[in-house]
Amino acid sequence: MTSHSYLQAQQVAEPVSFQLNWGALAGLRWGNPQGQVILALHGWLDNAHSFLPIAQHFIDSELQSTHQLVALDWAGHGHSDHRPTGNYYPFLDYVYDMVQLCEQQQWSKVSVLAHSMGGFVANLWAGIEPERIERLLAIEAFGLLTSPESAVLDDIRQGFRSRLRQQGKRRPHYTDLNSAVLAREQAGDFSTAIAALLVERGIEQLAPNDFRFRADGQLRCRSVMRMSPQQIATILQAIRCPYTLLIGSQGHRQRLEQALSTWRTAVPQLQVMDIAGGHHAHMESPDAAWRQFCALLATENG
């Protein structure tokens, strides 16, 4: 897909903002504002622009008249507020943000399209609120990063140390936009065009030659507490909706196969499909990802 196509999706995007109890959750919306809700949830240190390529397919489809596609920026990412000073980013709080948002907006049923960290959030949410999640398409994410119960003390100690280290750090600054794009490209496994797309929403300009990523530095702190594999299995077993997992051909296959070997039996309805691309396969092969999502929408729920 060309940058021109991204531009079209950007031009018709409606900026949205939702005030939660800790601050504002920002995002972009396409389609019918009163339509059925499709929530798009991005990965760690990305932002709502992660779904611009898929948004193009959405606005070219018949669904744009009956559905709304809402791509959110997670707390501390993109244009969303950072959590207040002294707060961190415990994983389940992302799930609670979605519960809060849906209660506020009276979205009793939503379909979810989620990548990486967003996918981890979504599969926990689908178990915690199985009555709300109608469909789930996860890209390069299943289960959650876990620790055995025997590691609890080490996790807490390392988590505390990472918080202390982070206090003294400042976010990197860049003299020009190209330097920031290069840094993002080097940290990922994707093209300059994809890096530029993510940086465009993820950067702020403080002065003529001073750019800084918007993402909260506290996002880099290690989790203080991680659930055990059995705890995750208990949550996954409660998922009732049709669920498709997309694995990138050059993505995190080994990690995902390990997660599948641990938890696949917990979600018997899970469908696993390959898609061309790396960890950001939904940006590299948005047409294939969109086809899989449309197929999921067409399946019977329940």
Q: What is the pLDDT of residues 211-268, one digit of tens each?
A: 999 999 999 999 999 999 999 999 999 999 999 999 999 999 999 999 999 999 999 9
Task: Provide φ and ψ at 105, rounded to 5°.
Answer: -90, -5
How many other C-beta atoms are found inside a 10 Å radius of the C-beta of residue 154? 10
- The whole-number pLDDT of residue 302 equals 53
% of the chain at pLDDT higher than 70: 97
Contact 110, 131 (CB under 8 A): no
- The whole-number pLDDT of residue 301 equals 66
Length of the chain: 302
pLDDT digits (tens, 9 = 90+) for 193-222: 999 999 999 999 999 999 999 999 999 999
What distance in Å separates the CA atoms of residue 20 and residue 208, rounded to the nearest whole number?
A: 33
- Domains of the chain plus CATH, in order, are 3-146+227-297 (3.40.50.1820)
Global confidence as pTM? 0.95
User: Is the model's pLDDT at 3 over the cut of 50?
Assistant: no
